[in-house]
Structure 1
């Protein structure tokens, strides 16, 4: 699909709007770093258009994609700060495309992205004074995630929160972590509060980020709960959450996601899973427009003590699960973790949906199937990174 094929509803006569911004990218594994850029761009604008490159253009300029265009579009459109997605956006940002959508400015992180020829993809719009820089999210990239998949490391995992380490745990006490939780919990304008962030430790639930008053009110009256690892936060998770959100909307309820910690996910999946750690997965879930609150460290089994621990903050009226099978430690069969909520008559299975056959294992299998290509992509990325750092140094020196 090319940009001309999808650009049928917009025309070159669209007037430029000072409050309509543009951001573009590959958005392969639409992780919290992508969401962070989108959030910062949305905070500057009343409307944010998000351009998504084709598989073919990404292959030429960067290497093979893991997620196909349709899958990447699904992820981008689920981000609550995206006003409109534009599939087929050119890899080298074209001011004529921006004009056709009425977008005055382009937003990008404080790093340089180059095309296959080593040229800055944003040089033209920079020269036109239509380029806005935001802070790049540190310590995460698609390249990082692919590297984790191609290795067996678990050094990215975060220790579980316990009563003994609660007062010093990085997710609760680190200022940067708390700031990012608050940022990703914001509403569609990327400014006002929205989602609540809670922490579950030994059947006690505390508040990390207070939800907006309207969300808090609905939480107390009618909350729909789902749980899981949500590793790599891909289109299967998103489609499931969309269906849950629709179900909740019909009952004037809000959606709460219980997120298992790294040790719990690893006990089920084994190897070096989860590929994304608990902090990264929490941010991915928080940025999704189908989610209203998150409980970090939720137990594998939503039993009576856990449900009761939530009651000061929310009333769970339904617990929903997707069409995927329930597995236990290292993938073996287990006692049904939903026995209690089934006995209470509040359990419901939802689905099927068009991505219900996709799992994090299958996403990793895509990488491993083409291991040589992805390793070559990683090598080329390293070479490109040197060139991009050189260009960045030149740009900074020129700016002085």
Structure 2
């Protein structure tokens, strides 16, 4: 998994070929584990837009305003290329009618707001849409995104995308070569995830989760607060154009009572990524590991305490015995 278990924050990707190394960020390991153990919801963000404009948070209005500027700057910093100097993923926000809405309404064009301008799709690229909670961004999420990228590259090979003549033509016409797919990742907001997962999920709020996704090398654009159900209207009104394909991985952690990908299936653009080595690494699995580790730690401490008590009792008895023997001699 990609969590940094050395006291460093969990946001960002740190697996060599699977992602880019991120600097220390806002989410400390102790805070994350605290959320798991205490089952708190105080980290939830009601509105990302309010959060990055200083209208949501803690402190005085002035402190919230300064914090909002810092949060928004962090998003802009993360939305850069690998050098950190040039534009990278484009960042959008869906201003849906309800945070708990499962369906994207029609007339959605006005509900999509550009936050950070980045690299846009290039001629010939397929628009690929994926979505999810991406909570405790881990090897499971990154392997899914890598698989999507790999499938699209394989299809690109089949249609001659990587033929030297095609690559030379792209360089001649656009000044650079680029891949066959433009991958857009929709990140669900906290209320939507909590509705379906319950307890105090997500463990990381939408701001933290979005930063993780922005750092992934396989993602070209991010839509914050994306609807849980990508409808035809939503996909058509995307600022990147109608999605050519919608991918999703096997969902086992959320007991769904309906198919959120009904419309992409009907349109014939839905594809599912099959099994992969990290498919079971998700937020629920990580929390269970933490809980088991905590139980094992508490059991070790209990055994040590009992041993210490027993040793103290034996020592006390030996001292009493020696004292009694001394009294008899005297």
**TM bucket normalised to smaller:** 0.5 to 0.7
The alignment status of 1:217 with 2:111, answered yes or no, reads: no
1:190-229 pair list within 5 angstroms: 190-202=84-96, 203=108, 204-212=111-119, 215-217=120-122, 221-229=125-133
Aligned to 1:313: 240
Report what 2:41 is aligned to.
154
Q: How many residues align?
A: 250
Q: How far apart in 2 are the matches of 1:298 and 1:260?
A: 5
Which is strand-richer, 1 or 2? 1
Matched, 1:263 2:191: yes
Q: Is the 8 A contact 2:121 2:182 kept in 1?
A: no
TM-score (norm 2): 0.68
Structure-to-structure mapping, 1:239-318, within 5 angstroms: 239-250=143-154, 251=156, 252-310=180-238, 312-318=239-245
Q: 1:142 to 1:240 in 2, by over 3 A?
A: same
**Aligned position for 2:20:** 80
2-side partners of 1:224 and 1:169: how far apart?
A: 33
The answer as to 2:141 corresponding to 1:237 is: yes
- Cα 1:185–1:249 shift into 2, 3 Å: farther
Aligned: 1:337 with 2:260: yes
Deviations 1:218-264 (A, max 9, x none): 6x952111111010001111111110111233440111111000000
Match in the other structure for 1:184: 78
Q: Which has the higher contact order (CA 8 A, sep 6+)?
A: 2
Give the 3 Å change call, closer, same or farther, for CA 197–170 of structure 1 in structure 2.
farther
Aligned CA distance change for structure 1 residues 80 and 344 (closer, same or farther; 3 Å): same
User: Normalized against structure 1, the TM-score is what?
Assistant: 0.56
Shift of 1:216: 3.5
1:78 CA displacement: 2.6
**For the structure 1 residues 198 and 366, does the alpha-carbon distance in structure 2 shift closer, same or farther, using more than 3 Å as the test?**
same
Q: Structure 2: where are the runs of 5+ without partners? A: 58-64, 97-107, 157-179, 300-330
